[in-house]
Each structure stands twice: as C-alpha cells, then as structure tokens.
Structure 1
Amino acid sequence: MPSRRNSARDRARRELGQNFLIDRDVARRMADLLDPSPVPVVELGAGRGAITRELARTGRPITAVELDPHWADELRGKWPRVRVIRGDMLEFRFPDAPHAVVGNLPFGITTAVTRRLLDTRCWSEAVLLVQWDVARKRAAGGNQLTAQWSPWYEFRLCGRVSARSFRPVPAVDGGVLRILRRAGPLVPFGELGRYQRFVEAVFTGRGRGLGEIVRNVTGCRVRDLPALPRDLTAEGWARLYTETT
C-alpha cells in the first residue's frame, strides 16, 4: 500500500499536469535537433531530468525551470552545473540575451506556453514536446494561431512520441515541434498587432470562400485565392496582408 506521503506527491504531480518523459532516445533526439551553436538553453518543465541529462552533455549553459520543489531539488543534486529555477514556466522571465528553448510542456497549458514563447524576442529556436495533434496542426498550418505568427516563425514537425514514453501514461501521443525564428520576417515586426487582427478578422469573417471573406473584411477583390483561410501558406498570408491593408 503506498504511503500517505507518496499519495500526496502523486496527487500534486497530477495537479501540475506532469507526464514525465522516460524514453531516453526521444530526449536525445530533442537535444540533437538544436542548432549546434553554443548559445545557452532554457529547459521548460525539466521534471525528472530526462532531457536535462541530454542537454548537459552538450556542454552548453543550461537553465532548467521546474515548478515541483521535489524535482527541482533532485535536479540540483544530479547536475550541479545546471542552473535550476523553481517556478512556473508561464511566469518565467526569459533571458534578454540569445538562447534556445527546449521543453516537455504540460499538455493542459501547451497553447498558453506557446503563445507566451512566441511573444518573447531573444530566443532563436524552440524544440517542444506537446500533444501530437497540436504539433501536427501547428506544423501543417491551417489554424489561426500559426497563421498569426508565421511571418516571424517556421513550425516544423519532427516526429511522433508514443504515449508509452511518458509516466504516467497520457491519453494521447506526443509530438516534437521545432519552431525557428525567421532570419528575414515576411511582415515587419512592428506591424505584428495589426497583422494579427487582420488574420483574426479573415478567419472569423463571413463569406462563401476566402475571396468573398476578404472582400467583406477589407473591401478589396483579390483573385487566385485558395478556397479557405486554412489553405493559405505563410507567404500567402503575408502577401494578402500587404495587398489589402
């Protein structure tokens, strides 16, 4: 019979939405996906340290963010050269200097963390373990969030991760999503707010087909458009924005 202490800890882990990665091959693959530059790495949701272990072998400076005090203490004991921050990844203040981001994100807050990350300026790439459907949809495009950020970021799907690679085992598989900051933005960053409002207006606008939606939203007639907003590429969105605003 489990002790009362262990039961309380198990409940706390469930409340934090922690699904620990136990597959070392996946952790190694995530670390290897990073560009081989020497920039520091911020790891979100370090947990038991499966990914931390693989990041530490790269020799880069590592900052591991972990909310659970038990696991934060264990990380400090295992990897004394890793800077461990005990705190909420949604409130973590990212460095002002260039860095990369890696993380096994709690499935319940994936969108919130992704939005906050995309709104942060100094990281160059992020390798994130999220729900499979989220990773697939972000990389494929066709959704509002991806369209709103695609002029500044590229979203790439880098593999499916079986639910059996986690403990406790979640109800769905995971997916590795790599996000790269574009060297040359398709829209000036200073127009981010205006561009994102434009994308939202098109996605929520009325009309039978994209051409009619764009005409209703902007008053402009644009030819040779695909059938629906979800069919536009990143370049297509940037071009449509430029031509109609």
Structure 2
Amino acid sequence: MPRNRSNPHAQNPRRASNRKRLSQNFLIDPGVARMIAHSSRVGPDDLVVEIGPGDGMLTRQLLGRARRVLAFEKDGRFADRLRRRNAGDDRLRCVHADFRDARLPDEPFAVVANIPYGLTTECVRWCLETRHLTSATLVTQLEFARKHTGDFGRWTKLTVAHWPAWEFTLGRRIGKRNFRPVPSVDSAVLHVRRRQRPLLPHRALGEYRRLVELGFTGVGGSLHASLRRSVGPRRADRACEAAGVARDLPVGLVPPQSWLRLFESLTRS
C-alpha cells in the first residue's frame, strides 16, 4: 500500500507494528508509481478499483489517467486522509472497507494495487472470481509474480486452471528500497488480463479445471501417472502423446498450452 516520503507512523509504533504484521509495505517513489499506472493500460474511459491506497502514492497517478477511481481502504485513518487530500475531486471515491467485503461496481473495471504480501494469493483469487473485472495490475513479491507467470520454467495450479480465460504476464521488477518499511525481498508487477476470446468455450471451463485438479494431485510423481489412475493407461498414453507431454514429466513443468492440447485430446476420445 502506497504512501509518500513522510512517515505517517513515525509517532505511532503500534500502528506501524500492525502494518508490518500485515506485510504492508508503502511505495515511496513517484516514478515507480507512475510506471505501475502506465503499465496497467487504464485510460480516460476506465473505472479503476484500488485495493489499499494507503497514503495515495499510486492513487495520484491513477487519477491522472482513469475516468474514476474507487478505493477500498481498511485503515480508517488512511481513508480519512485520502478523502481530505482529494476533497472536491469527484473522480475519487474512497470507501473505508475491506475489499473482500465491499460492494463492487456493476460495470467493467480494472484493479490496480500495491497489495499486502500476506494477502497476495487471496487477492489474485478474488480478482479471478470477480464478474466485471477486465484486468488486474498487482505489485507482489518478485518470487510470487515469477512463479505464476512460468518465469521459473514451472507453472502453478492457479495459473494453469485459469489460463483459458486469463492471461498472466510478468511486468517490471521493483527494488525493495522503493518501499517503507523496506521488505526483505524485491517486488514485481503481475498482470492478469481477461482474454477477449477465451481459449475454451465457457461450458468447458469447469471440466478443464477438474482435469487440472486431477493432474496436480501428485499421485505417481507425474501428470501421466495421475491420468493413468483416472482415465486408464491407454487413454492417458494417447492424450499425453498428442499433447507432447513426456510420461515422466512432473506436473509443474507442463506448460498451459500442453494442458489445453491434453484436454482437447481427452475430450475427443
């Protein structure tokens, strides 16, 4: 969650301790905030939801680009401060609420946020399940962003399961010195964008995700071994061959494109 170079917690160790406990690191570099807003691709026709604006470092950049910003801030003091600083600007609405409990817009919107590390996975899942979301630009731990975009050569179940409908890409790296308090690791921008044309029909997504769930059970040490127990040896052999998946390949090394070919092969058979 962002803030400016002055430390609003300098005289309040208890509140600073709470922020640290919640893994909340404030962005202090306006240039980095500008880069994040630019990379989100939001424009003058867009509604943006910001999760945890804090002291408004990123909010200021979003207000310069978007049609309107709806900010959800759980900390009442930061919510009041943001309202006072932007009094009279009807482009910003700051709601004192946890984003998970808040009422969301009934129209397309993008999420742009520097989220607490401790809520990263929950926030990404929330974005993927939100009906009107078009894209999410999220500042996360570097390792998290790399894991969920295949940058390590491995793929997570979360990414693979949602790949037909969502695109996951790795954005810019952000050094830890750009935050206060300084975290132990660097961060990065994670982009999650809804595909204009899903790679599978909507009616097939549930069955596809059940296949992914099955494959990630870890039974047998490989995707092929897990499939054999469910669909039988011959079907598993044919499907893996058609998808180009080696029989001994660990499930985490199977790229999303191969999962789609595997699903298509099993569906045809």
Q: Indicate the SS of the match to 1:92.
A: coil
| Counterpart position of 2:245 | 225
Tell me how far apart the structure 2 counterparts of residues 149 and 86 of structure 1 sit (CA, whole Å). 31
1:4-83 equivalences under 5 Å are 6-37=12-43, 38-80=45-87, 81=89, 82-83=92-93
Q: Indicate the SS of the match to 2:12.
A: helix
1:53-202 equivalences under 5 Å are 53-80=60-87, 81=89, 82-140=92-150, 142-202=155-215
Instruction: Go from structure 1 to structure 2 and tell me whether the alpha carbon gap of 1:73 and 1:36 turns closer, same or farther (over 3 Å shift).
Output: closer
Instruction: Go from structure 1 to structure 2 and tell me whether the alpha carbon gap of 1:206 and 1:9 turns closer, same or farther (over 3 Å shift).
Output: closer
Quote how far apart the aligned CAs of 1:137 are.
Answer: 0.8
Question: What is the TM-score normalised by the length of structure 2?
Answer: 0.83
Quote how far apart the aligned CAs of 1:53 are.
Answer: 0.8
Tell me how far apart the structure 2 counterparts of residues 35 and 11 of structure 1 sit (CA, whole Å). 34
Question: What is the TM-score normalised by the length of structure 1?
Answer: 0.91
Q: Indicate the SS of the match to 1:13.
A: helix
Instruction: Go from structure 1 to structure 2 and tell me whether the alpha carbon gap of 1:77 and 1:177 turns closer, same or farther (over 3 Å shift).
Output: same
Tell me how far apart the structure 2 counterparts of residues 107 and 239 of structure 1 sit (CA, whole Å). 34
Q: Indicate the SS of the match to 1:128.
A: strand
Quote how far apart the aligned CAs of 1:229 are.
Answer: 2.1
Quote how far apart the aligned CAs of 1:36 are.
Answer: 4.7
Instruction: Go from structure 1 to structure 2 and tell me whether the alpha carbon gap of 1:94 and 1:108 turns closer, same or farther (over 3 Å shift).
Output: same
Is the contact made by 1:202 and 1:217 (CA closer than 8 Å) also made in structure 2? no
Identity among equivalent positions (%) equals 39
How many positions carry a matched residue from both structures? 243
Quote how far apart the aligned CAs of 1:101 are.
Answer: 0.7
Q: Indicate the SS of the match to 2:220.
A: coil
Is the contact made by 1:151 and 1:235 (CA closer than 8 Å) also made in structure 2? no
**Which whole-Å deviations, capped at 9, do the CAs of 1:40-63 have from their partners, x for residues lacking one?**
111111111110010011152011
Instruction: Go from structure 1 to structure 2 and tell me whether the alpha carbon gap of 1:242 and 1:83 turns closer, same or farther (over 3 Å shift).
Output: same
Is the contact made by 2:111 and 2:136 (CA closer than 8 Å) also made in structure 1? yes
Bigger drift between 75-84 and 205-214 goes to: 205-214
Quote how far apart the aligned CAs of 1:117 are.
Answer: 0.9
1:237 aligns with 2:259: yes
**Which whole-Å deviations, capped at 9, do the CAs of 1:168-217 have from their partners, x for residues lacking one?**
11111111001111111122333433322221110114235433332223
| Counterpart position of 2:6 | none
Tell me how far apart the structure 2 counterparts of residues 168 and 121 of structure 1 sit (CA, whole Å). 34
Gaps of 5+ in 1: none
Tell me how far apart the structure 2 counterparts of residues 208 and 32 of structure 1 sit (CA, whole Å). 42
Tell me how far apart the structure 1 counterparts of residues 202 and 18 of structure 2 sit (CA, whole Å). 40
